[in-house]
Amino acid sequence: MKSFLIDRYGKGSAPRLGEGPEPDLRNNDVMVEVHAAGVNPLDNKIRDGEFKLILPYSLPLVLGNELAGVVVRVGANVRRFKPGDEVYARPAQDRIGTFAEYIAIDETDLALKPDNLTMEEAASIPLVALTAWQVLVERANLRKGQKVLIHAGSGGVGTIAIQLAKHLGAYVATTTSTANVALVKSLGADVVVDYKSDDFEKVLQGYDVVLNSLGKDTLEKSLRVLKPGGKLISISGPPDPDFARQNGSGWLLQLVMRLLSFGIRRQSKRRRISYSFLFMTANGRQLGKITSLIEAGVIRPVLDRVFPFERTNEALDYVETGRAKGKVVVTVK
């Protein structure tokens, strides 16, 4: 089996194309032949070692966090899938490895692929759509008539989150560059702030929810657009104590995360705003609901570029530039 893997963590290092055995198939697993895999900033962060404290992977490690493909075998306890099914998924965080010809996935993390998407389009969906769902539906409980600010609206998470928020009936603002204003408007954004010419915290006010995917400065400025009782939810950190406990981190790591998030949590409390960090998790049931929205035409994928499998490192480099509109995908089969 061909796969792209790392032998050690290293900033900007290139994963190598290697040969190895197919993964073991557990009783609750589905073996999937990977046809396409989404490429995400998370892949580069894992490669660089940014998550080695909270995600202690064994090396060598096959990279890749989302896929679309075809079921080839199922474990003894699997009832929901059969060979020949077209599926897509974000694997559990401790079982990643979609930059490969095959992957074994627990059936609870898997969903049937939307009928109206190609393999490449479907592979662009799971990680970013589950992130948007878990922020807006599960964590924020976003309701009709509420106001939400979604940062980086032309990125992978942003393009899906705008569409989902509009479906939920929210009033949506987003930040993007001049070149992407038309794109985010076409996805449903009501207000677009061009960060090259305007400061969003001076333009927006009275918001209920902010989805942050950017850095510390943007995170702190986001407090100023939220009303008391609002929710600031960040997918780029800093991790908070609740996440540390949910992740099963030891007391020392819990202390580190408490210290890392102390400043933003203190500022939030002063403004009567709740701050939380969200690291999305695999969930086939939620992905099934997203499938229904895609097949109904509520959510559509936004693809920037598709690379052949052997050029996976080029795909990773392109994602790292931060200039992708929507998602980048590699075609494996």
Is the sign of the CA dihedral 218, 219, 224, 227 positive or negative?
Answer: positive
Give the span between the Cα atoms of 315 and 44, in whole angstroms.
Answer: 10
Give the span between the Cα atoms of 118 and 181, in whole angstroms.
Answer: 26
DSSP per residue, 221-289:
HHGGGEEEEEEEEESSS---HHHHHHTT--HHHHHHHHHHTHHHHHHHHHTT-EEEE------HHHHHH
Whole-Å CA distances, 23 to 62, 78, 99: 11, 17, 13
Q: HSE of 69 in the Cβ direction (CA atoms, 13 Å)?
A: 31
Give the list of residues 6+ apart from residue 157 with CB closer than 8 angstroms, or none. 128, 131, 132, 211, 213, 235
Give the span between the Cα atoms of 302 and 160, in whole angstroms.
Answer: 8
* Pairing, β 171-176 against β 102-106: unpaired
Categorize the per-residue pLDDT at 254 as very low, low, confident or very high, splitting at 50, 70 and 90.
Answer: confident
pLDDT digits (tens, 9 = 90+) for 277-327: 999 999 999 999 999 999 999 999 999 999 999 999 999 999 999 999 999
> Which tops the pLDDT comparison, 51 or 166?
166
pLDDT value for 253: 80
Residue 247's nearest CA partner among 72, 56, 116, 83 is: 56
The structure's pTM equals: 0.96
The percent of residues above 90 in pLDDT, for the chain, comes to 89
pLDDT value for 6: 97
Residue 22 in tokens: 């197919």
> How much is the mean pLDDT over the chain?
95
Per-residue pLDDT at 249 exceeds 80: no
Q: Which of 51-65, 232-246, 305-319 has the lowest mean pLDDT?
A: 232-246
Give the span between the Cα atoms of 133 and 141, in whole angstroms.
Answer: 10
Strand order in the sheet with 16-19: 16-19, 2-6, 61-62
pLDDT digits (tens, 9 = 90+) for 158-211: 999 999 999 999 999 999 999 999 999 999 999 999 998 999 999 999 999 999
pLDDT value for 244: 78
pLDDT value for 257: 81
pLDDT value for 56: 83
User: Per-residue pLDDT averaged across 129-136, rounded?
Assistant: 98
Give the span between the Cα atoms of 86 and 71, in whole angstroms.
Answer: 7
Contact between residue 233 and residue 278 where contact means Cβ atoms under 8 Å apart: yes
pLDDT value for 240: 83
Q: Which of 22-36, 43-57, 115-129, 312-326 has the lowest mean pLDDT?
A: 43-57
Per-residue pLDDT at 3 exceeds 80: yes
Give the span between the Cα atoms of 109 and 89, in whole angstroms.
Answer: 6
pLDDT value for 143: 97
Element (H, E) at 129: helix 126-133
